[in-house]
A = this chain, B = another copy of it.
Amino acid sequence: LTATLQDVARLAGVSVATASRALSGRRRVSDAVSTRVQEAAGALGYRPNMVASALRRQVTDTIGLVVPQITNPFFPALVESVDWELRPMAKQLLLCDARRDPEIEAQRLQALIDRQVDGIMVSPCDVIKSSGAVRATAKKVPLVQVDRRISGEATDWVGVDDFQGIRLLVEHAAKAGTATSVFVGAEPKNSSARERLAAFSAASDEFSIASQGALLGDFTAAWGAEAARQIIATGPLPDVVVCANDLIAIGVMREFLTSGIRVPDDVLVTGFDDIASAELSTPSLTTVRQPHGTIAREALRLLLERMEHSSQAFQRIAVTPELVIRESTTGLTAGEPRRPWRHDATEQAEAGSLGP
């Protein structure tokens, strides 16, 4: 049904080897023969069989990507970038969703090895439980971790600089005159959750903001809402609520608004990631932007490097995110007069000189 290289060779009156060479261009062929083969291929609608080629060359031109959860809006953006970078190299993306389960993740990694992928990009779902499978996989095939990572120095890694990101946000809040804060994050099961929590402590110290504590759940808006309820119940309200990602922040803001607490008038809120919803939320959310394009590009570069020289030292590339200032820390509630968010009038006066 479909033409093979043998058919092309026959029609062009050359051997299959020559036909192969003429089409792949990997070795010189006389111009006359070359065009003759090209024409024959065109006439037959010849398409190389990549499976056969892969078997022979021991290269599949395929990259595996394992994400913890594709419905987490960060990952589609990453997938889009990686897919786009791969296209000019004629490589294809084999995508796997680990469903936030280290066991499923391990199976997916094995499945990718079985398919002879040339390299794997993975964002491990658990800093501890993903460790074994990721390390084992990295021994068999070039592997680079993206965004999240397992503990220890096991492979290359590219991701956002969680530390700098949180620091930018806390610095911004400090400049806006905040003196007290609460962190709403996720249980430190993955590296992002860990780093952002640690960064919050460090940045709070650096900018002399008094942390009223950290609430840890997961990276969802539902948890953000629950955390907001706890903050309200516990009281007093901090000046700023720093959230470990945008979804949490959106949940926090929503609950605050429902309870009649105004953002940013009564309390500032910050996110992390800059997902699409961050701009569309009410109020729009101050956050830091994940540079997906850069992360995808660097991850691929590292992966290709490791395919060449498998035994060089592991690299870690932390890309500093960009601060995106929106209404949740600066804007006015539409149509409403600005009202001081500080409850204590004395502190308010002191902070005045620091304000914008």
Contacts and interface: CB of A to CB of B under 8 A. Distances in A.
Nearest to A110: B47
A323 B329 CA distance: 35
A15 interface: no
A140 B70 CA distance: 30
B79 A116 contact: no
Contact of A73 (B48, B52, B55, B73): B73
Contact of A47 (B114, B250, B258): B114
B277 A113 contact: no
A60 B55 CA distance: 12
Interface in A304-347: 334-335
Given A70-B80, A116-B51, A254-B280, A96 B96 contact: no
A93 B92 contact: no
A257 interface: yes
Interface in A64-119: 69-71, 73, 75-77, 79-80, 83-84, 87, 90, 92-97, 99, 107, 110-116
Nearest to A1: B140
Interface residues of A, number: 54
Contacts of A79: 70, 95, 97
Contacts of A241: none
A29 interface: no
21 contacts: A47-B113, A51-B51, A51-B55, A51-B60, A51-B115, A51-B116, A52-B55, A70-B80, A71-B80, A79-B97, A83-B95, A83-B96, A90-B111, A92-B94, A93-B94, A93-B95, A221-B280, A254-B282, A257-B334, A258-B334, A276-B277
Given A71-B276, A83-B96, A95-B95, 11 more contacts: A47-B110, A49-B114, A50-B116, A51-B51, A70-B83, A79-B97, A87-B107, A92-B111, A93-B94, A254-B282, A277-B277
Interface of A: 2, 47-52, 54-55, 60, 69-71, 73, 75-77, 79-80, 83-84, 87, 90, 92-97, 99, 107, 110-116, 140, 221, 250-251, 254, 257-258, 260, 276-277, 279-282, 334-335
